[in-house]
Amino acid sequence: MAQEKISIVLISEHREDLQMAGMIASVGAVSGNDVSVLVSMNALKYFLKGASDKAPFAGQMGEILERKKAPSFRTLFEQAAELGEARIHPCSMAMDILGVEWRDLETFMKEPLGLTKFLGDAKGGQVWSF
């Protein structure tokens, strides 16, 4: 029942960006869209098993999100994958640079993806970047 293809490129380490990307991924996926996320650059470290989800704030909203106990962005991505079948992939380049293996990442993370494959899959759909 896929209605739209939504591709999200997530590279930021800021709480607000991670939160918004998680919201779009989870709500998009549970609304019947075909969602895929490529996690790269400074965002990848938050998807390691046992990593802290205390991301630095870009501004005031980040602090308020934390204080008011908005859902953790990692929970949102997990729900996107488990409730909405979103595919969340680590970027293979970022994994090489960071020196991590697939097994080091959260269990909801799908196989590492290169840009050629991600761009091919994203063709013709919505692309969001954070």
Partner 1 sequence: MMAKKKQIDARGSFCPGPLMELIAGMKAADVGDELEVLSTDKGSAADIPEWIKKVGHELLSATEENGVWHITVRKAK
DSSP 4-17: -EEEEEE----HHH
DSSP H helix total and E strand total for the chain: 5, 4
Distance in angstroms (rounded) separating the CA atoms of residues 85 and 108? 10
Q: Which of 54, 59, 29 is nearest to 128 (CA)?
A: 29
**Interface residues for partner 1 in 11-50 (CB under 8 A)?**
23, 26-27, 30-32
Amino acid at 113: L
Alpha helices (H) along the chain: 15-30, 60-67, 73-84, 92-98, 115-122
| Binding pattern for the stretch 64-103 against partner 1, x by CB under 8 A and - elsewhere | -x--xxxx----x--x---xx-------------------
55 near partner 1, rule: CB under 8 A:
no
Q: CB 13 → partner 1: shortest distance, Å?
A: 21
Distance in angstroms (rounded) separating the CA atoms of residues 115 and 95? 13
Q: CB 118 → partner 1: shortest distance, Å?
A: 25
Nearer to partner 1 by Cβ, of 27 and 115: the residue is 27
Q: CB 101 → partner 1: shortest distance, Å?
A: 30
Nearer to partner 1 by Cβ, of 73 and 118: the residue is 73
3-class SS at 52? coil
**Interface residues for partner 1 in 101-130 (CB under 8 A)?**
none
Point out which residues bind partner 1 (CB under 8 A).
Answer: 23, 26-27, 30-32, 65, 68-71, 76, 79, 83-84
